[in-house]
């Protein structure tokens, strides 16, 4: 096998912080015996360790140094061109029975899968260094916090995990010495980065993840989609909490009244942008703060939902990010950022489609080839990413480290829909809201390999991330609602509706504040709405559109419910529920029937 990750040999004092928990030691030695690395590097998360790893990564061309005056302490990584996004078709949930994984997941039998993966891992780290990365998901003092260990042979993974999680000694301290303590086992090897030997496998019953053959973020930063969502959602149901693909933001009014909102949009559908929103000038005195941009862990306290962001950094979509669309993201990625698959300019800066200013006359594209504005290929991959510490965000919420989390006033679902779905509407109650989430759909994006722009049902934006049977997941949502005396209101939004000219009707980005303001008004019982068959809709004068250059026609189109389109939509809800083969709870079937009936009233 080609060695894509040659071993490195640290000086004394680096890479030798051995954990004391015997269960961890036993597991690491077992994986070491199997993968046969040249040496084991125990990560402690220190500055010195990071500097050493960056220096070695530069030597091995895992990283390219950027112009340190323009983007201090920032580096570029190019992944294998065959390996640029999550691969859903080789992502598996390995529960004892196929029913537990349910109709929406790829399933494979645990014993057979272990045996196949152990076969692939046998000797896979020969000539390589095996890194052991301890990390915590969640604020360390949160009751929801979880410890994980990721074994990997990729330096890029170690450097990314340091940004994306609370990594190193802090996790060893939190875990302690109890050999029975709960922690997640993650094993990752690049192997030879061959799409035919690429598998991302989850064993929820064992709290274990094994990922081989990829070096791309979502497949290999095992803390994120693998632990915080797939294994997380499984544990959440068992333990009575929720793990969701949601951003969390704070909204503070000029009078100082603060609400928190969580929102589930599918991959590359606007979570990071919404979480970092800067209100337009008209909303003077309103402030948006970011708790999280991708994942929310929520639990019930005093009849309310409280949320924490389990992550410590942002792994965000680069193309389209500019000072115009998302200034807070731009400020966040000005320094201490790991870029993946963007273009490199001749002066050592980074560039991508949609960045402010004119394109460079010449650059090196994401594959390492010469690029000019006349090139047919894109300079940056459409799913190029930044990894940046959340502390770089000027709008970081002050309670992001609060262990108990922040109270959620509203939950918003949303997808990328060119037609049918209005700009915003509100569910009649919790169960109706669960129905909105369960039936949401979105056009697919470059965040996962496969067709782009194809409408697919993506319940709660969790289709690729729910680690168990989707019917049980729906039931869990309904059950949670029954335990909430003060439940969040539930909304649905669509920033992506298009007019007859094929252009977006809504300006989006900062202007989404106008929709958020209505959501907050509704939470405070002072927003107007009209009843429609699909839910409460704002009339044009219920939305604050002052100072926005938009014509009446577009607003009417954005808020319109086209009965013909909705007949088709409701038929698709039925097709989707039917395709799940009887697992959909009765309450949601009833919600669908009631919606159909409301259209006939």
Using CB under 5 A, list all residues that contact Mn ion: 267, 294
Residue facing ligand SPV at closest CB distance: 218
Q: How far is CA 215 from CA 139, 190, 268, 446, in A?
A: 27, 6, 19, 17
Stretch in the footprint of ligand SPV (CB under 6 A) among 60-68, 152-160, 218-226, 558-566: 218-226
d(CA 555, CA 468): 40
CA angle 303, 492, 427 (to 5 degrees): 55
Q: Which residue number, 364 or 387, has a Cβ lying nearer to Mn ion?
A: 387
Minimum distance of ligand GTP from residue 466's CB (angstroms): 15
**Residue 246 or 298: which CB sits closer to ligand SPV?**
246
Distance between CA 188 and CA 121 in Å, rounded? 9
Among 125, 447, 460, 470, contact with ligand GTP (rule: CB under 6 A): 447
Query: For ligand GTP, which residue of 102, 138, 319, 467 counts as binding (CB under 6 A)?
Result: 319
- Strand-pairing partners, residue 314, are 388
In the numeric block, which tokens belong to residue 353?
């489609």
269 is an interface residue for ligand GTP by CB under 6 A? yes
- Tell me the closest approach of the beta carbon of residue 272 to ligand GTP, in angstroms: 4
Q: 154: phi > 0 → left, psi -120 to 50 → alpha, else beta; which?
A: beta
Q: How does DSSP assign 207-224, residue by residue?
A: TEEEEES--SHHHH-TII
Q: Which residues, at least 6 apart from 262, have a Cβ–Cβ distance to it below 8 Å?
A: 244, 246, 247, 248, 296, 298, 305, 307, 408, 410, 411, 412, 488
Q: Which is nearer to ligand SPV, 108 or 267 (CB)?
A: 267
**Residue 466 annotated to the active site:** no
263-281: b (≥16 Cβ within 10 Å) or e: bbbbbbbbbbbbbbbbbbe
For the chain, what is the total number of helices (H) and then of strands (E)? Answer: 16, 31
Closest CA to 412 of 339, 461, 360, 481: 461
Selected range binding ligand SPV among 217-225, 233-241, 343-351, 563-571, rule: CB under 6 A: 217-225
Write out the DSSP string of 447-509: TBSS-SS-EEE-GGG-TTT--S-HHHHHHHHHHHHHT-SSPPEEEEE-TT-B-TTSSBSS--G
Rounded-to-integer distance, Cα 437 and Cα 476, Å: 13
Member of 149, 286, 315, 468 binding ligand SPV (CB under 6 A): 315
273 interface partner picked from ligand SPV, ligand GTP, Mn ion, none, CB below 5 to 8 A per type:
ligand GTP
Count residues contacting ligand SPV (CB under 6 A)? 9
Catalytic one of 201, 269, 466, 523: 269
| Cβ closest to ligand SPV, residue 91 vs residue 207 | 91
Let me know: does 442 contact 436? Beta carbons within 8 Å: no
Q: Is 508 in the site for ligand GTP (CB under 6 A)?
A: yes
Among the listed residues 131, 183, 241, 265, the single contact to ligand GTP using CB under 6 A: 265
Partner interacting with residue 218 (select from ligand GTP, ligand SPV, Mn ion, none; CB below 5-8 Å by kind) = ligand SPV
Using the minimum distance from each CB to ligand GTP, give the nearer residue, 447 or 490.
447
Work out what residue 504 binds among Mn ion, ligand SPV, ligand GTP, none; the CB cut-off runs from 5 to 8 Å by kind: ligand GTP
Q: Which stretch binds ligand SPV (CB under 6 A): 48-56, 69-77, 216-224, 511-519?
A: 216-224
Quote the least distance from Cβ 221 to ligand GTP, whole Å. Answer: 12
Choose the stretch contacting ligand GTP; rule: CB under 6 A; options: 300-308, 373-381, 504-512, 582-590.
504-512
Least spacing, CB of residue 261 vs Mn ion, in Å: 17
Beta bridge partners of 244: 296
Kindly tell me which residue out of 199, 495, 536, 566 binds ligand GTP, with binding defined by CB under 6 A: 495
- Radius of gyration of the chain, Cα coordinates, nearest whole angstrom: 24
Beta-bridge mates of residue 300: 305
Q: Rule CB under 6 A: which of 78-97 touch ligand SPV? A: 86
The correct pick among 217, 232, 279, 538 for binding ligand SPV (CB under 6 A) is 217
Position 202 contacts ligand SPV (CB under 6 A): no
Examine residue 224 and tell whether it contacts ligand SPV (CB under 6 A).
Answer: yes
415-474: contacts with ligand SPV (CB under 6 A): 447
- DSSP conformation class of 567: H
271 part of the interface to ligand GTP, by CB under 6 A: yes
Give me the residue whose beta carbon is nearest to ligand GTP.
508
Binding flag, residue 316, ligand GTP (CB under 6 A): yes
Angle, CA of 197, 211 and 113, to the nearest 5°: 70
For the CA atoms of 265, 269, 274, 276, what is the dihedral angle to 10 degrees?
120
**Residue in 102, 215, 313, 320 binding ligand GTP, rule: CB under 6 A:** 320
Strand, coil or helix: 568: helix
CA angle, corner 163, sides to 162 and 164, nearest 5?
100
Q: Which residues in this chain contact ligand SPV in the complex, by CB under 6 A? A: 86, 217-218, 224-225, 267, 294, 315, 447
Q: Which residues in this chain contact ligand GTP in the complex, by CB under 6 A? A: 265, 267-273, 293-294, 316-317, 319-320, 325, 447, 495-496, 504, 508-509, 512
The set of catalytic residues is 269
């Amino acid at each position: 096998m080609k060695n894509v990750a040659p071993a490195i040999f640290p000086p004394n004092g680096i890479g030798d912080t051995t954990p004391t928990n015997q269960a961890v030691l036993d597991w690491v030695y077992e994986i070491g015996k199997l993968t046969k690395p040249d040496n084991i590097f125990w990560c402690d998360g220190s500055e010195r360790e990071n500097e050493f790893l960056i220096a070695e990564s530069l030597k091995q061309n895992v990283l390219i140094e950027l112009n340190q005056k323009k983007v201090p302490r920032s580096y570029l990584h190019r992944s294998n061109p065959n390996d640029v996004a999550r691969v859903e078709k080789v992502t598996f949930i390995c529960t004892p029975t196929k029913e537990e994984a349910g109709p929406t997941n790829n399933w494979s039998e645990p014993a057979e899968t272990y045996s196949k993966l152990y076969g692939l891992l046998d000797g896979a780290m020969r000539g390589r260094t095996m890194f052991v990365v301890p990390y915590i998901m969640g604020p360390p003092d949160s009751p929801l916090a979880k410890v994980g260990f990721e074994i990997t042979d990729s330096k890029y993974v170690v450097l990314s995990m340091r940004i994306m999680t609370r990594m190193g000694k802090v996790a060893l301290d939190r875990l302690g010495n109890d050999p029975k303590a709960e922690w997640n086992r993650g094993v990752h090897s690049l192997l030879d980065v061959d799409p035919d030997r690429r598998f991302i496998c989850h064993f929820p019953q064992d709290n274990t993840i094994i990922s081989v053959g990829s070096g791309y973020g979502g497949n290999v930063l095992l803390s994120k989609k693998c632990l915080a969502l797939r294994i997380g959602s499984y544990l959440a149901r068992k333990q009575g909490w929720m793990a969701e693909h949601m951003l969390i933001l704070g909204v503070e009014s000029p009078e100082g009244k603060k609400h928190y909102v969580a929102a589930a949009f599918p991959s590359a559908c606007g979570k990071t942008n919404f979480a970092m929103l800067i209100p337009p000038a008209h909303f003077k005195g309103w402030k948006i703060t970011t708790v999280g941009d991708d994942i929310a862990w929520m639990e019930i306290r005093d009849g309310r939902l409280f949320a924490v962001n389990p992550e410590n950094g942002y792994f965000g979509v680069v193309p389209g990010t500019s000072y115009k669309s998302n200034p807070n993201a731009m400020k966040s990625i000005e320094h201490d950022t790991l870029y993946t698959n963007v273009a490199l300019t001749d002066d050592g800066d980074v560039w991508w489609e949609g960045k402010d200013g004119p394109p460079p006359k010449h650059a090196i594209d994401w594959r390492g080839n010469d690029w000019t504005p006349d090139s047919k290929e894109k300079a940056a991959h459409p799913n190029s990413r930044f990894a940046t510490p959340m502390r770089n965000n000027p709008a970081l919420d002050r309670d992001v480290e609060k262990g108990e989390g922040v109270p959620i006033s509203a939950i918003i679902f949303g997808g990328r829909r060119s037609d049918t779905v209005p700009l915003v509407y509100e569910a009649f109650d919790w169960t109706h809201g669960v129905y909105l989430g369960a039936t949401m759909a979105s056009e697919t994006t470059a965040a996962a390999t496969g067709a782009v722009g194809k409408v697919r049902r993506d319940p709660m934006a969790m289709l690729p991330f729910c680690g168990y049977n989707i019917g049980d997941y729906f039931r869990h949502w309904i059950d949670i609602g029954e335990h909430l005396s003060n439940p969040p209101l539930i909304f649905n939004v669509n920033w992506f509706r298009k007019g007859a000219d094929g252009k977006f009707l809504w300006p989006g980005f900062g202007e989404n504040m106008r929709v958020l303001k209505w959501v907050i008004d509704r939470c405070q019982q002072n927003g107007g709405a009209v009843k429609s068959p699909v839910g409460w809709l704002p009339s044009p004068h219920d939305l604050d559109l002052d100072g926005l250059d938009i014509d009446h026609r577009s607003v009417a189109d954005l808020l319109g419910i086209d009965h013909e389109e909705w007949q088709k939509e409701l038929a698709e809800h039925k097709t989707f529920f039917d395709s799940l083969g009887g697992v959909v709870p009765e309450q949601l079937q009833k919600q669908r029937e009631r919606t159909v009936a409301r259209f006939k009233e």
